[in-house]
A and B are shown apart, each in its own frame.
Chain A
Amino acid sequence: MRRSLKLYFTLISVQIRSQMEYRVSFFMDLLSTMLLNGSYFLALALILERFGNIAGWTLGDMAFIAGLSEMGFSIMDMLFSGFDPDSFSQNVRLGKFDQMLLRPVNISLQVFSSKFLIRRLGRFLEGAIIFGVGMGLAGIHWTLAKVLYLPIVLISIVAGMGALFVMGGTLIFWTVQPVEVVNIVTYGGNELMSYPMNIYPRWIQNVFTYLIPLVFLNYLPALYFLDKPGVLHFAPVFSFAAPFAAALMLFLAFRFWSFGLRHYQSTGT
């Protein structure tokens, strides 16, 4: 475990040093992702300005939930980008994945640390600002339990969305080329999570409850923080299901990953 951590930081530092070779592009990227994603929320804010609320959610509530998912997704994207189907596909095609298999280090650890997108910090910062605004506007009654649960929810979003990246990356073992549907689930899932689930039609709610359980990561915990009555058919206790849902997703994702790896080792590319 200690050796794994040491190797993780060694490999991450390689990534950071490599990215610092292109400093100007790095800062441009940092700024542009921040502005681009920030502008999406700005547009929503302008609409809410006119209508007051959407399905009972005010601007503050919306900022809270959008900021939370944005922070979670950006950290996830920073950490799990090695599994991102696009970059993983490239590593498989260029033989870099085979090079990793030639090294005496756990392969998941190597893929995990094969990419580290520090430029996602821009997006995190943007998420944090929106989240801060939301906290201010929504007038949350902070309790000790809420303060303690908040970081757990954030970690759960990182882990749960990370699981989707791992699953999407695993598909590369069969398809080699990235499959567009995966982006709908990951990036689309994140977009979807930025809004309260109750505004969506029933079938979408069902998909993101039973098939891809994102509703547990963001929407249900948000109800607890914002002291909102549940509109969906969930008992209040499900607001605390986030870490369990995330752990289950991550577990299944790595089971699928091992299965895919065995397939890859029996077929090659």
Chain B
Amino acid sequence: MIEVTHLSKEFRLADRQPTFAGSFRQLFKPRYRELKAVDDISFALEKGEFVGYLGPNGAGKSTTIKMLTGLLVPTSGTMIVDGMIPWKQRTKYVAGIGAVFGQRSSLWWDLPVSDSLEVLQSLYNVPAARFRSNLEEFRKLLELDEFIHAPVRSLSLGQRMRAELCAALLHDPKILFLDEPTIGLDVVAKERIRRFVQHINRERETTVILTTHDLSDIERLCKRVIILDHGHILYDGMLQALIDRFEGEHLIRLTYSSREGGGIFDGLRLAQDDGIQAVYAFDHRNLSVPEALSRLQQQITIVDFELIRPSVEETIRHIYEEKLLLTPPDKA
């Protein structure tokens, strides 16, 4: 469905001068420096995949998305999506994709949602019957009825995102690009949007590329992730494999009534202890949870315990911060 090979994009940035004289000079004799926003990346996506595209700010995520949606022409490399080269056959290509950018709107501010959708129908040339059946389905799934006749400007952020999703899918796109679709939403609204996107991906086999900073979106939706940093792909593979490899220590927090001995156990580190509660950290790759508990019980009478796993968010942040993936990329 999507095939990207040795894709690069360089920008020429004006070198900003800090002094007044410098900025004056820049006006007449500009100096530039090259920025490699995307540096020789390759990946392939199958039809129906749901992939998370991750990376810190400035990693080259949005530059890649702009190229994939035909907005930007790459400096070098090739990209074949749905049998087409996005920027060469723009109008034909974009008819087959849908995009929701959380910070932007594809609807008309002063028009009712329903009118906006009808305008999009004619822009995308959607057959009337198809339009009706899609709208029927999305109205139910996204619960649009409560605000479909209200002008877009009066919608809440959550309502607007639901309308945007409907707008992006009315023409049956084969690929859906989502950029921060849940930004600024509350938990309930987020969940509604995730459930809908998952439904579309499963039922319609729509390929979905999701970029987001909200890693709970990724954890909930994506099996596969591509992690980008400084224009390079750091990781491309299953999310689970990444977690298995880099997940930090698991914790057992236990309440105890009595303890004998020194409280030192093989493979378990005492992280915290106040006489009633203690927290032990262990590497789950070397020690299973039942084994850890049975070791603890040799000396401690446990009243209650709780197992704490690091969140995906912590794991990924850990990867960025420690630059754990800078060793040769490991295809999972």
Contacts and interface: CB of A to CB of B under 8 A. Distances in A.
Given A99-B104, A102-B106, A105-B91, A265 B124 contact: no
A7 interface: yes
B72 A104 contact: no
**B66, B70, B123 — most chain A CB neighbours (10 Å):** B123
Interface string A95-106: 110110111111
Contact of A7 (B97, B104, B106, B123): B123
A37 interface: no
Interface stretch (A9-17, A42-50, A179-187, A192-200): A9-17
B157 interface: no
B122 interface: yes
Interface string A176-217: 000000000000000000000000000000000000000000
A236 interface: no
A21 interface: yes
Interface stretch (B107-115, B130-138, B308-316): B107-115
Contact of A265 (B72, B94, B106): B72
B91 A7 contact: no
Nearest to A19: B110
A14 B122 contact: no
A52 interface: no
Contacts of A21: 110, 151
A143 interface: no
B104 A95 contact: yes
B92 A104 contact: yes
A268 B71 contact: yes
Contacts of A99: 104-106
B289 interface: no
Interface of A: 3, 6-7, 10-11, 14, 17-18, 21, 94-96, 98-99, 101-107, 262, 265-268
Given A14-B108, A98-B71, 9 more contacts: A10-B123, A14-B115, A17-B111, A18-B110, A99-B106, A103-B94, A104-B95, A266-B72, A268-B71
Nearest 7 interchain pairs by C-beta: A104-B95, A18-B110, A95-B104, A104-B91, A21-B110, A266-B73, A265-B73
